[in-house]
Structure 1
Amino acid sequence: MGIVNEIRQSSRLSLMVAVAAATLGIIYGYDSSNIAGALLFVTDEFSLSVAQQQTVTTSVVIGEIFGALFAGALSNRIGRKSTMVLVAVTYAVFSLLSGLAWAVPVLIAARFLLGLTIGVSVVVVPVFVAESAPAKVRGAFLVLYQVATVVGIILGYLVAWALAAGENWRWMLAAAFIPGVIIALLIAKLPDTARWYAMRGRYDDARRTLERVEPDAAIVDRELAEMREANDSPRQNTWRALVRHPYLRATVFVVGLGFFVQITGINAIVYYSPRIFEAMGFSGNATLLGLPALVQVAGLLAVFLSFSLIDRMGRRPILLTGIGIMVLANGLLVLTFLFGENFGGFLTVLGFVGLILFTVGFTFGFGSLVWVYAGESLPSHLRSLGASAMLTANLMANAAVAAIFLTMLTKLGGGGTFVVFGILALAAFVFVHRLAPETKNRPLEDISSFWENGGKWPAEPAQDDDGAPASASPNGAA
Structure 2
Amino acid sequence: MGRIDELRRSRQGFVVGLTAASVGIISGYDLSSTAGALLYLTDGFRLTTHQQELVITVVVIGEIAGALGGAVLANAIGRKTSMVLVVTAYAVFAVLSAISTSVTMLLVVRLLVGVAIGVSLVVVPVYIAESAPAAIRGSVLVAYQVATVLGIIAGYLVAYLLASWQNWRAMLGLAAVPAVLVLLLLRRLSGTARWYMLKGRVREARHALQRIEPDTDVENELAEISRAVEEERGGALTEMLRSPYRRAMIFVLGLGFLSQATGINAIVCYSPRLFEAMHFTGNFALLVLPALVQVIALAAVFVAMDLVDRLGRRPILLSGIAMMLAANLLLIWVFVVPSAGAVPTTFGFLAVLVFTIGYNLGFGALICVYAGESLPSRLRSIGSGAMLAADRVANALVAAVFLTMLHALGAGTFALFGLLAAGSFAFVYRLAPETKGRQLEDIRHFWENGGKPGAEPVIALSGSRQ
Cα distance in 2 for residues equivalent to 1:207 and 1:448: 31
Q: 2:83 maps to what in 1?
A: 84
Distance 1:234 1:6, change over 3 A: closer
Q: 1:70 maps to what in 2?
A: 69
Q: Is residue 319 from structure 1 mapped to residue 317 from structure 2 by the alignment?
A: yes
Distance 1:298 1:391, change over 3 A: same
Q: 2:58 maps to what in 1?
A: 59
Q: 1:388 maps to what in 2?
A: 385
CA contact (8 A) 1:135 1:442 kept: no
Percent identical residues: 55
Unaligned runs of 5+ in 1: 463-470, 473-477
Q: 2:361 maps to what in 1?
A: 364
Distance 1:383 1:290, change over 3 A: same
Q: 1:294 maps to what in 2?
A: 292
Distance 1:71 1:366, change over 3 A: same
Which stretch shifts more, 311-320 or 64-73?
311-320
Cα deviation for residue 398 of structure 1 reads 0.6
Q: Is residue 257 from structure 1 mapped to residue 268 from structure 2 by the alignment?
A: no
Which stretch shifts more, 287-296 or 245-254?
245-254
Unaligned runs of 5+ in 2: none
Q: 1:225 maps to what in 2?
A: 223
Cα deviation for residue 315 of structure 1 reads 3.5
Distance 1:308 1:232, change over 3 A: same
Mapping for residues 92-241 of structure 1, pairs under 5 Å: 92-133=91-132, 138-214=137-213, 217=216, 223-233=221-231, 235-241=233-239
Which stretch shifts more, 55-64 or 309-318?
309-318
Cα deviation for residue 31 of structure 1 reads 1.0
CA displacement, residues 384-422 of structure 1 (integer Å, 9 cap, x when unaligned): 443332211111111111110011111211x21111111
Q: 1:409 maps to what in 2?
A: 406
Cα deviation for residue 320 of structure 1 reads 2.5
Cα deviation for residue 237 of structure 1 reads 4.7
Cα deviation for residue 189 of structure 1 reads 2.0
Distance 1:451 1:211, change over 3 A: farther
Q: 2:327 maps to what in 1?
A: 329
Which stretch shifts more, 127-136 or 22-31?
127-136
CA displacement, residues 413-453 of structure 1 (integer Å, 9 cap, x when unaligned): 1x211111111112222222333344556666666666556
Q: Is residue 426 from structure 1 mapped to residue 426 from structure 2 by the alignment?
A: no
Cα deviation for residue 131 of structure 1 reads 3.3
Cα distance in 2 for residues equivalent to 1:451 and 1:226: 25
Distance 1:375 1:349, change over 3 A: same
CA contact (8 A) 1:136 1:311 kept: no
Q: 1:277 maps to what in 2?
A: 275
Which stretch shifts more, 157-166 or 236-245?
236-245
* Residue identity in the other structure for 1:141: V
Which stretch shifts more, 64-73 or 190-199?
190-199
Distance 1:79 1:233, change over 3 A: same
Cα distance in 1 for residues equivalent to 2:222 and 2:438: 16
Cα deviation for residue 9 of structure 1 reads 2.5
Structure of higher RCO (CA pairs closer than 8 Å, 6+ residues apart): 1
CA displacement, residues 193-242 of structure 1 (integer Å, 9 cap, x when unaligned): 33333333334444444444446635x56544333333344853554444
**Superposed CA RMSD:** 2.9
CA contact (8 A) 1:146 1:363 kept: no
Cα deviation for residue 19 of structure 1 reads 3.4
CA contact (8 A) 1:126 1:375 kept: no
* Residue identity in the other structure for 1:285: N
* Residue identity in the other structure for 1:390: M
Cα deviation for residue 281 of structure 1 reads 1.2
Cα distance in 2 for residues equivalent to 1:198 and 1:370: 29
TM-score by length of 2: 0.89
3-state DSSP of counterpart to 1:274:
helix
Q: How many residues align?
A: 459
Cα deviation for residue 183 of structure 1 reads 1.3
TM-score by length of 1: 0.86
Cα deviation for residue 268 of structure 1 reads 0.6
